[in-house]
Every structure is written in C-alpha cells, then in structure tokens.
Amino acid sequence: MMKLEQLVRLFDHTFLKPYAAREDMERLCGEARQYGFAMVAVNSVQSALCKELLKGSGVHVGAAISFPLGQTTIETKVFETRDALANGADEIDYVINITELKAKNYGYIREEMRRIVEVCREAGAISKVIFENCYLTDEEKRILCEIALEERPDFIKTSTGFGTGGATLEDVRLMKGIVGDAVKVKAAGGIRDLKTCLAMVEAGAERIGTSASVKITEEFKNGISAGA
C-alpha cells in the first residue's frame, strides 16, 4: 500500500492560470512546502518568484514552456527554456509543436525534443515533453513515444490541462507500454480525486500534475484515519 510520503512526492502542484497573482504563488508554494510536494508547476514568468518562495524546502520549481499551445519556434522554446532555468526553474515541461507532428515532420519534432532535452541535461534539470493527447491519434502518440525513446527526456506527459481533454488511463498505459522504464510518464489534466490519482499510478504514471494536490492528499489522510 502506498505511504503518505510516497503520495505527496508524486505531485506537480499546479497553478497555470493567466491571472496568477503573487498571492496565488505564495499560497501555491506554501502548500507545496507544507505537504512536501515534488514540484510547483507555473508559467515560466513565475520561476524566480517561486524559487525565492521555496528556498530551502527541497520542492522544485517547474516552468511550463510554450504553454499551452506549443505553437512557437524551436529557437523560441529553447530561449524560454534557458531563461526559465536562469531564473531558478529545476524542471521544464514543454509543449510539442502539434502542427508539425500532424504534418508528419518527425525530424522537426525530434530536433525540438533533442535541443530542449540537451539544454535541461546541461543544467541538471528535469525535462518533460507534453504530448496533448486529446488532439492526437494513437499512431501519433506511438510515434512521439518512439522519438522520446531516442532522445530520452526524463518524462513524457499526457496533457496541458488546457486542451479538450486530460489524462486517460488508456493513454497512460499506451505511453508506458512503449517507453517502459526508459522514460517516465506524467499524467496531467482532470485528476481531481484520490481514486483517479491512484488509478493513474497503477497504469504507470510516476508523476501527477494537478491543482487538487491538497484535496487528494487530505482524502488519502482521511482514509488512513478512517481505517485506523
């Protein structure tokens, strides 16, 4: 059975709204520090503030790159990645260029992934590739997984949470079935309760992106108390 310490380290505690204010970041980082979550997931402009707020906590700052559409050039994504890292980000979640994937321009997708993963690797930062599966066919998902096996980001991720759908068990199983233990899988989008969270982990997810981290953790703790 999963322990509380294991559960909380799954969470990328998320606040990616365009109207995020300093108070939102203070609350987000305060919760992450209190519960011991793995990371806070924020827009890259918030990296420096969150790094300061989380100083000494061991909680990582995760910057979302080309978020949520992925429709910027490789050079722009690389620049934003470098800027976020310079401002304190420890982890990078970038959105692929779906237009180029749909056009079967796999060389472009491979170069994009290679360059961003290289920048992260050089900085000692964790890299995550967001597929946005709600817009993709299963074949496109498989191709992305195969490219990830070549380029070796730390994680591949189901969704931004801003598309027409979020994480599904079927997608997590598909992704995990292809990459195995070579690349980890992050499930994100629509995960708001403990049952769904644990099902995603059972399917193969090793990180959970959610704004409901506190709610899920408290649900877990209440379940332990009820069973005691």
* Residues forming beta bridges with residue 94, ordered by sequence position: 65, 129
Phi, psi dihedral angles at 127 (to 5 degrees):
-110, 140
Q: Is 24 exposed, middle or buried (0-12, 13-18, 19+ CB in 10 A)?
A: middle
Q: Which of 90, 93, 154, 171 is catalytic?
A: 93
CA distance 179 to 172: 11
Please check whether residue 131 is in contact with residue 114, taking contact to mean a CB–CB distance below 8 angstroms. no
**Is 51 a known active-site residue?**
no
**Is 141 a known active-site residue?**
no
- Read off the tokens for 158: 């189901």
**DSSP codes joined into one string, 70-130:** --S-HHHHHHHHHHHHHTT-SEEEEE--HHHHHTT-HHHHHHHHHHHHHHHHHHT-EEEEE
CA angle 96, 100, 106 (to 5 degrees): 90
Cβ neighbour number for residue 30 with a 10 Å cutoff: 13
Task: Please name which of 201, 200, 204, 179 lies closest in space to residue 190, comparing C-alpha atoms.
Answer: 200
Q: Which of 77, 128, 157, 184 is catalytic?
A: 157
Q: Which residues are catalytic?
A: 93, 157, 186
